[in-house]
Copies of this chain bind each other. A is one copy, B any other.
Amino acid sequence: MRPLKLRMGMVGGGQGAFIGAVHRMAATLDGEIELVAGALSSTPERSRASGEALGLPDERNYGSWQDMLAGELAREDRIDLVAIVTPNHLHYPVAKAFAEAGIHVVCDKPLVHTSEQAQDLVRVVNASGVVFAVTYNYTGYPMVKQARHMVRTGQLGDIRKVAVEYRQGWLAGPLEGNKQADWRTDPSRSGLGGAVGDIGTHAENLMSAVTGLELEAVCADLTAFVPGRMLDDDASALLRFRGGAKGILTVSQVEIGGENDLRLRVHGTKGSLSWRQEDPNRLLFDSLDAPQQVLTRSGPGLCGEAQGATRLPAGHPEGFIEAFANVYRAAATHIRAKAEGREYTPDYPTVEDGARGVRFIEKMVESSGSAEKWTVLD
């Protein structure tokens, strides 16, 4: 018999916040999680209005995350997990408080503002033993899991070169004032990185998750192209990985025509992979002296993890929400496994992945300001 649904609370994600609705659809898609509580906005009034619109019961429609934490801890049927979907600057205090209270966490990215905060959070999570997932949702795509599998099983040979790019254009003009653009371009809420934080960390996570390589040094050039912008809206970098592989990265939010164009190429001694987020159900594989193969989601030749991450037959497109839902589903599986004392190897981005992303932002910013070519990641 099927276990009861996990109970979820949400911090942030109120009316007008695009990503809050995505988290709710993703969390509930598989019928494993239900939203039962929320502190959805930055003032009590707006929080409650948002909660009403979502049909939250009054007693669990909180005015602040602090109230929610206290209120839920006082309940028998307290929430199993909290989803943190606030602007970046609130990730740290909220995540720390809930994790310390033993409540599992799903947190948006980038994890926190500084490596110190990140290391503190890693410590707290390890001490409390909670499940902690970071919604680097792009690694939730089945074909990304397939790519990771093909690298791990040696189908590409030794990796030589990695190229990752993430192109958007929505910040090409001065959008400050727009709710989505606003906090992303404000250092106090967004952190050190602009584009490098908002989308660069996704690129880093995708690259690392698929290749398993560790960054050794970066050589970055960050730019704020739009006059008056306080954070980078474009970043490029040369990359060196431990073991000798090289890489190149470019991310931008001012490339007009770019919608959400995240792409990864991995080249090894035996083969190459190419994947594109806007065409996520396909993965291109080239090997020496053979025609290119086009692997498709739910098509022939996929590994178990890719098969397990899909819900539909081939040719029935899955997209962003389903990939996002895979992060939630893996976290839910881990939460249940912990409850039942079963082993589970996390197949979602962890707090350590989140901390590595914060480090990446710091080093990209540091390198961009340096006259030396290589800034080493220690």
Contacts and interface: CB of A to CB of B under 8 A. Distances in A.
Interface in A135-165: 160-161, 163, 165
Contact of A322 (B24, B280, B321): B321
A267 B286 contact: no
A301 B312 contact: no
> Interface centre among A22, A161, A165, A257, by most B CB within 10 Å?
A257
A291 B296 contact: yes
A160 B225 contact: yes
Contacts of A318: 317, 319-321
A288 B172 contact: yes
Interface stretch (A93-101, A342-350, A352-360, A370-378): A370-378
Q: For the complex formed by this chain, how many copies does it contain in all? A: 4
Interface in A197-222: 219, 221
A177 interface: no
A236 interface: yes
Contact of A293 (B221, B292, B313): B292
Given A29-B25, A169-B286, A260-B316, A246 B267 contact: no
A338 interface: no
> Interface centre among A255, A265, A290, A370, by most B CB within 10 Å?
A255
B236 A255 contact: no
Contact of A272 (B223, B248, B255, B287): B255
Interface residues of A, number: 94
B52 A2 contact: yes
A88 interface: no
Interface string A242-271: 000011101010111111110001011111
A295 to B, nearest CB: 5
A234 to B, nearest CB: 6
B315 A168 contact: yes
A31 interface: yes
A3 to B, nearest CB: 9
Contacts of A30: 25
B256 A286 contact: yes
Contacts of A299: 259, 291
Nearest to A302: B291
Nearest to A252: B161
A54 interface: yes
A250 to B, nearest CB: 5
Contacts of A372: 371-373
A268 B256 contact: yes
Contacts of A67: none
A214 B371 CA distance: 22
Nearest to A249: B248
A294 B287 CA distance: 12
Contacts of A317: 277-280, 317-320
Nearest to A254: B160
5 contacts: A4-B55, A22-B312, A161-B254, A252-B267, A256-B287
